Amino acid sequence: MRTHICGNGTGTGTGAGGRFFRGMGGVVAVLGMFVLAVSVVLAPGVASAELSVAMITDVGGVNDQSFNQSAWEGLQRAEKELDVKAAYIESKQDADYGPNLETLLDAGTDLIWGIGFKMADVVLGAAKQNPDQKYAIIDFAWDETPKNLVGVVFKAEQASFLVGYIAGRMTKTGKVGFVGGMSFPVIWGFEYGYRAGVMQAGKDVEVLGQYAESFTDAAKGKSIANSMYQQGADIVFHAAGGAGDGVIEAAKEQGKWAIGVDRDQNYLAPDNVLTSAMKRVDNAIFNVAKDLVEGKWQGGSTISYGLAEGGVDIAPTTSKHVDAALLADVEALKARIIAGEIVVPFSKETFATFEVK
């Protein structure tokens, strides 16, 4: 059983997989009944028989074709396999984050997720104010994390390195592009991992780069990508959430290649999405829920997912457009990264000292 709420608890209609309510008061009342009324049958030895896990999306929304959607897929899997009660609230603007956290707190939710680094301050503040409530966040970590909070981060630079290597090997024009959403450390990891992968390919390839300063403006993403294609780029990688939908649309219209992010985005343009740098937010959401169910809550810590942990990778559909010989080279690079032979850069500073090995 699941429910979902859109925005700051407002709206009417039927949402994917659940009910959709109007009014803040109605949200709290119904969610409260939802949490209290459902018994969960768990395996022997499990710590609790009634657990609810809910997530708050960032402004991209739950159907962003990216990490919010991946997070919800992980929570749906937890609902199916672990019998937790799943819910989400969609945020329409940054100002919704705090009230949405309060909504789930008032509903008695066992674990509240903030999806995305933009929620870091409000999630940390809520955790400090409510020490008996469990929180978790995607894409942020603190030097000192409260005991009731878990940070989950990804070595997205590793998957970006692999797709950059593919781009560097496959470009026919000697020019490729990168479109970021907003200029933050999380997105820098994608950019500089990609740039290093292009370097690793061993060819003299120019990398164009620009930020959309948005994770939702598809028109801006499309405009940037079109400009890059016009400048001679034949492959453009995006790490821009919903703005990246415009990058993929531009690739379709121009007959060029795009590289997707977070999820396998080939389905958005089967003939134009070369590969995707996957960040398995779904696995992280599921694994933390599983730890909670089994009484293994890792509060006060940061969980890091890279290639070695199965948290990042290239998309399964890569084999549609990338030949077997190149894929074998990519597999060899994965092994070298996991072994520590190649340390992929994640910032301008670490990229400055990167050397091809």
Beta-carbon contacts of 112 under 8 Å, excluding residues fewer than 6 positions away, are 54, 55, 56, 101, 104, 105, 126, 133, 134, 135, 136
Locate the domains of the chain by residue range. Answer: 2-154+281-305, 156-279+323-352
d(CA 68, CA 114): 10
Confidence (pTM): 0.83
In this chain, the answer to whether the domains covering 2-154+281-305 and 156-279+323-352 adopt an identical fold is yes
**Helices 156-170 and 324-338 sit at what angle, rounded to 10 degrees?**
150
Q: What's the CATH architecture for 2-154+281-305?
A: 3-Layer(aba) Sandwich (3.40)
208-234: average pLDDT: 97
Strand, helix or coil for residue 15: strand
User: What is the total residue count of the chain?
Assistant: 357
* Arithmetic mean of pLDDT over the chain: 88
Which CATH superfamily includes the segment(s) 156-279+323-352?
Response regulator (3.40.50.2300)
The string of pLDDT tens digits covering residues 246-269 is 999 999 999 999 999 999 999 999
Q: Are 85 and 35 in contact (CB under 8 A)?
A: yes
Instruction: Give me the DSSP letters along 63-103.
Output: TSSSHHHHHHHHHHHHHHHH--EEEEEE-SSGGGHHHHHHH
The string of pLDDT tens digits covering residues 111-150 is 999 999 999 999 999 999 999 999 999 999 999 999 999 9
The string of pLDDT tens digits covering residues 266-296 is 999 999 999 999 999 999 999 999 999 999 9
Strand, helix or coil for residue 263: coil
The string of pLDDT tens digits covering residues 148-188 is 999 999 999 999 999 999 999 999 999 999 999 999 999 99
